Amino acid sequence: MNKKVTYSDIVNALSSKTGFSKQKSEAFVKALLNQVKDELRESGKASITNFGSFKVKEVAERQGKNPQTGDPIVIPAHKRVSFSPYKSLRENVNAKYGHLESELINEEEEGKQTDESTTDLTQDTQPNETTEPEYPEEEQADDVFAISTDPDAKEEASGDDEKSDDQIENEIEDDTPEQTEGDTNTGETEPEDDVESDEAEEDVEPEHAVTDSDASDGSERNYTNVLSIMAVLMLTVIAITTVWFLVDNGSGEKKQAVNGSQNNIQTGAVAQGSEVGQKVSLRTYESIKSEADELEKRIKALTQQAERLRAQQSEQSIRPAETEENPVSEKVSADEPSNQVSDTNEERSVNKRYEVQQGEWYWVISEKLYGKPRFWPLLFMENHSVNEDPDSLLKLTNISVPAMEGSADNPTSNDYKDLAAATKMVAEAYKKAGKSEKADEYEKFARMWEKMGA
C-alpha cells in the first residue's frame, strides 16, 4: 500500500533541508499554496513549475445514485480541479515501468487470423477445381465395371447403338493423325509388349475378380475383357480430346462444350460395348495395347489440361468483364490470384504524381492514394528533407507517390521496412522542428513497423 506523509513532515523536512526555521518554511508553503488557489480562482489555471499544473474543469449535470439507498439523484453541474503532472514527475513516478512499450502481439495474431480466412477462401475454391476434373476418370471406372461385369449384354446392345458408334467413328476419323502415330509406335514396341502383355493380364485380373469368375472358362474371354477395358480408355480419351479441341476453338462456348463432352462420354460409355467386338476384329491385341498405354499417358495430360480449362472457366465466371482473348494470361491469374494485386503495384512502381489540392495534408493524401492514412511517412520521405517540419502545410503542389510492394491492407515486409525508415525520418524531422514529444511518438511507431516487418 502507498505510504502517506503528513503535512508537518513535509514542512519539517523542508526546514531541515534549506536551513530556514519551521515557521518560515510553513509560511512559504502556505504562501505558495495560496498563490495557486488565487490563480485557480481567477484564471481557472495554475501551475507549480516542475511539479504539475492545476486546471478547473466544468462537470456537466448527470444522473447519479445514492450509494446507500440506490435512489436516483441528479448531480448538479459543478467545477472540479484536475491535476496533470509535469513530464519529469510523470517519468520519475513511472520509472519502474518506463522501459515498457505497448505491443502489437494481439494485432499480429488477429492479422494472421484474417490472412488465414482469406487463404481459406482460396482453398475452398481450389478443391472444387481439382475435384471436378476427376469426374471423367470416375466415369471411366464406372464404365469399366459396367462392361466387365456383363460383356454379353453390351455385345447384345451393340446393334441398338450403331448410330452412336458412327458418331464416334467420325470423331476417330478426325483424330486419325494421332492414331497413326500410335500405330507407328506400336511397330517399334511390339516385342516388349508381348512380354508386358502377359504381366498386364495378371495385373488386371485381380482387380476384376467378377469378370474372371464369369470368364474363367476361356482365356479368350480374358483377352476380350482386357481389350474392352483398353478400348474404353481409348474412347474416353478420344472423346476428351475432341471436346478439348472444340473448347479450344470456340472459347466463348466452353461451358457448353464441356457439358457436351460429358454427354458424349456418357453416350460413348453406352456405345463402348458394341465397339469391342469390332475393334478386336480390326486390330491385333498388341497394337491396341500399346495404343492404350500411350493413350493412358494422354489421359493424364488431358485431365491436366481439363483442370486448367476449368480453372479458366471459373475465373471467367468470376470476372466476366475480362476478355477471353488471351487464355495464357488468364491461366497465370488463375494459378496465382495474388497477381492481380501485384499487377496494380507494378503500375505504381513507376512513381505516380499527385496534384495536391488546397488544404490537403499527408494524412489525407495517404488515405486517398493508399487507402490508409497511416502510410503518410512514405509520402513525406519521398518529397521532403529532414529539415522540414512535417506539420507545416505542403508547399509543393505536385508530389511524387512512392510505390508499395504489397497493398495497403496487406503490406509486405519490405513495405514495413520502408515505412519504418520513413517514420524514423519523420521522427528526426520532428526533433529538428523542436517537437520532441511527436518525435518520440514516431520513433516508437518506427520501432513498431520494424517489428512488423521482421
Partner 1 sequence: MTKSEVLKSISKELDLTIAETEQLYDSFVNGMNTLLSNNVGFTLPGVGSFSTELRDAHKSYNPHYEQMMLIPPKNVVHFSQSSTLKDEINRDSDE
Q: Rounded to an integer, what distance in angstroms lies between the CA atom of residue 324 and that of residue 314?
A: 12
Measured from the CB of residue 15, what is the shortest distance to partner 1 in angstroms? 9
Neighbouring CB atoms inside 10 A of 86's CB total: 15
One of 22, 62, 65, 78 touching partner 1 (CB under 8 A): 78
One of 35, 149, 170, 176 touching partner 1 (CB under 8 A): 35
Which residues in the 353-412 window bind partner 1 by CB under 8 A? 372, 374
Q: Which stretch binds partner 1 (CB under 8 A): 19-27, 200-208, 266-274, 343-351?
A: 19-27
Measured from the CB of residue 247, what is the shortest distance to partner 1 in angstroms? 46
The phi, psi pair for 98, rounded to 5°, reads -60, -30
Residue pair 205/222 in contact by the 8 Å Cβ criterion: yes
One of 63, 67, 72, 96 touching partner 1 (CB under 8 A): 96
**How many residues line the site for partner 1 (CB under 8 A)?**
67
One of 60, 74, 95, 350 touching partner 1 (CB under 8 A): 95
One of 89, 157, 246, 364 touching partner 1 (CB under 8 A): 89
Q: Quick one: which of 370, 369, 368, 364 has its CA closest to 393?
A: 364
Q: Does 10 bind partner 1 (CB under 8 A)?
A: yes
- Which letter, b or e, does each residue of 272-311 get, where b requires 16 or more Cβ atoms within 10 Å of its Cβ? bbbbbbebbeebebbbbbbbbbbbeebbeebbebbbbbbb
Q: Quick one: which of 185, 178, 186, 177 has its CA closest to 286?
A: 186
One of 5, 74, 321, 328 touching partner 1 (CB under 8 A): 5
- Name which of 82 and 317 has its Cβ closer to partner 1: 82
- Name which of 33 and 301 has its Cβ closer to partner 1: 33
User: Three-state SS for 443?
Assistant: helix
Residue pair 371/408 in contact by the 8 Å Cβ criterion: yes
The phi, psi pair for 81, rounded to 5°, reads -95, 130
Measured from the CB of residue 384, what is the shortest distance to partner 1 in angstroms? 20
Q: Does 327 bind partner 1 (CB under 8 A)?
A: no
- Name which of 80 and 395 has its Cβ closer to partner 1: 80
Residue pair 117/124 in contact by the 8 Å Cβ criterion: no
Q: Does 3 bind partner 1 (CB under 8 A)?
A: yes
The phi, psi pair for 429, rounded to 5°, reads -60, -40
Q: Which stretch binds partner 1 (CB under 8 A): 76-84, 131-139, 390-398, 428-436?
A: 76-84
Which residues in the 110-149 window bind partner 1 by CB under 8 A? 110-111
Alpha helices in 283-351 (DSSP H): 285-318, 327-335, 339-349
Neighbouring CB atoms inside 10 A of 175's CB total: 14
Q: Rounded to an integer, what distance in angstroms lies between the CA atom of residue 295 and that of residue 293?
A: 5
Q: Is residue 122 packed enough to be buried (19+ CB in 10 Å), middle (13-18) or exposed (0-12)?
A: exposed
Q: Does 318 bind partner 1 (CB under 8 A)?
A: no
Measured from the CB of residue 406, what is the shortest distance to partner 1 in angstroms? 16
Q: Does 420 bind partner 1 (CB under 8 A)?
A: no
One of 37, 62, 65, 297 touching partner 1 (CB under 8 A): 37
Which residue type occupies 395? K
- Name which of 27 and 210 has its Cβ closer to partner 1: 27
Residue pair 234/295 in contact by the 8 Å Cβ criterion: yes
- Name which of 100 and 328 has its Cβ closer to partner 1: 100
Neighbouring CB atoms inside 10 A of 250's CB total: 11
Q: Which stretch binds partner 1 (CB under 8 A): 78-86, 131-139, 311-319, 346-354?
A: 78-86
One of 21, 22, 33, 192 touching partner 1 (CB under 8 A): 33
Of all helices (H) and strands (E), which one includes residue 63? Answer: strand 62-65
One of 63, 66, 68, 102 touching partner 1 (CB under 8 A): 102
- Name which of 354 and 449 has its Cβ closer to partner 1: 449
Q: Does 75 bind partner 1 (CB under 8 A)?
A: no
Q: Rounded to an integer, what distance in angstroms lies between the CA atom of residue 40 and that of residue 382?
A: 48
Q: Does 73 bind partner 1 (CB under 8 A)?
A: no
Q: Does 90 bind partner 1 (CB under 8 A)?
A: yes
Q: Does 29 bind partner 1 (CB under 8 A)?
A: yes
Which residues in the 160-179 window bind partner 1 by CB under 8 A? none
The phi, psi pair for 184, rounded to 5°, reads -65, -40
Residues in contact with partner 1 by CB under 8 A are 2-7, 9-10, 13-14, 17-18, 20, 24-25, 27-29, 31-37, 39-41, 46-52, 54, 56, 78-83, 85, 88-90, 92-97, 100-107, 110-111, 372, 374, 445, 448
